[in-house]
Amino acid sequence: MAVLKYSRQREAIKNYLQGREDHPSADMVYDGIRGEFPNISLGTVYRNLSLLTELGEIIKIPTEGADRFDARVAPHNHFICKSCGRVMDIMISVKNPVEEINAQWYGGEVEECRMEFYGICNECKKMKN
C-alpha cells in the first residue's frame, strides 16, 4: 500500500478501542464515535479497522455474528459467553503451547496461539435465577 497519511477519524477509532475493556464490533465503534464525528460513515469505520488490523495495531476477532476488535495486541486469551456473545479478556496467563506445537506438528509454522474459552458469563447466570 501507499504511504500512510494521518487521519483524525483513524486516530479517533484507535483511541476509542484503547479506551474500552470490551471488544466492540464495527457497528459499536461507529455508534461510539459519532458523538465526536457526526458525519463519519460506517464504510470509513470498516476501512480503518481493516487497515489498523493489517498494521498490527489492533486485532480482529471473528465470532458468531459480527467481528470484534481489540486494541490489546499483546498475546492474551478470551472468554466468550455462549449465551450473550460477550467477549472478555482472560488476564491470567496459561502456558503458551506454540513451541510445543511447532516441535511436533508439520502442517506449517505456527506463529501465534489464541485460546478461546467458552461458557456462561456471570451476568447471564444471574439472569437465569
- Stretch in the footprint of DNA (CB under 7 A) among 34-42, 72-80, 93-101, 116-124: 34-42
Cα–Cα distance for residue pair 21/16, rounded to 1 Å: 10
Question: Least separation, in Å, of the C-beta of 84 and its own copies?
Answer: 10
Q: What angle do CA 62, 54, 72 make, to 5 degrees?
A: 65
On whether 113 is known to bind a ligand per the annotation, the reply is no
Q: Which does 31 bind (CB under 5 to 8 A by kind): its own copies, DNA, none?
A: none
- 129 belongs to the binding site for its own copies (CB under 8 A): no
Pick the binder of its own copies from 94, 127, 128, 129 (CB under 8 A): 94
Pull the grid cell for residue 15. Answer: 483511541
Best CA proximity match to 1, nearest among 70, 41, 50: 50
Give the distance from CA 28 to its chain's centroid: 12
The reply to whether 118 sits near DNA by the rule CB under 7 A is no
In the region spanning residues 40 to 79, those forming contacts with its own copies, defined by CB under 8 A, are 60, 62-64, 67, 79
